[in-house]
Amino acid sequence: MIDATALAEKPVLTGARIRLVPLSIRHAAAFHTACQDPETRRLTGTHHDFTLAELQAWCAGSADRADRLDLAIEDRESGDFLGELALSQIDPPNAHGSFRIALVPDATGRGIGSEAIRLLLGHAFDRVGLHRVQLEVYDYNPRARRAYEKCGFEVEGRMREALFWDGAWHDVLVMAVLRPGPAGGAG
């Protein structure tokens, strides 16, 4: 069963190279810079041009949201902001949630995303009590798809031409991972 208090508590999750910490106002400027990067916008399908004030308000309110978990990805040694991720759209009766992640451009291609995903999935399954976590990835992002597959996600479906980007329609792949072990299959 889902532990509803687990989303209200904002954990610090530590890996070999990174740490996931509660998203806060101190992350807003670096988050804003990442949101301005054209490649980051393309990979996340972000049409909205977020202002610094919008992201400051979002980050400042993150700790008060008891229905979701928003965490910053930081370099374990330097404390530098490497990206952010979220566990949201929690469906308690079905023990299901949605996941998203965005890395700053300099953090890609180094396994940081996979490490962050594994840390969050461990928390989602072991502490929150989810059975299933799903995400969406665009068909033009095979690198992210491979990273998700390395973490146990499988493609479950395709939403045809669900994103209009740069003058063309693109498919959105739906991927999910199940809780590992006998009760959750081979997730």
Q: What percent of the chain has pLDDT over 90?
A: 75
In this predicted structure, the answer to whether residue 187 has a pLDDT above a threshold of 50 is no
> Which residues are within 8 A (CB) of 5 and not within 5 positions of it... i.e. 6 or more apart?
none
In this predicted structure, the answer to whether residue 63 has a pLDDT above a threshold of 70 is yes
pLDDT in tens, 116-153: 999 999 999 999 999 999 999 999 999 999 999 999 99
The pLDDT mean for the chain works out to 92
CATH 3.40.47.10 is right for the domain spanning 4-178? no
Distances (CA, A) of 179 to 98, 131, 148, 152, 157: 14, 5, 15, 10, 19
Q: Domain residues of the chain, as ranges? A: 4-178
In this predicted structure, the answer to whether residue 183 has a pLDDT above a threshold of 60 is no
CA atoms within 13 A on the CB side of 85: 29
Write down the pLDDT at residue 108. 86
Q: Is 95 left (phi over 0), alpha (psi -120 to 50) or beta?
A: left
What length does the chain have? 187
170: helix, coil or strand? strand
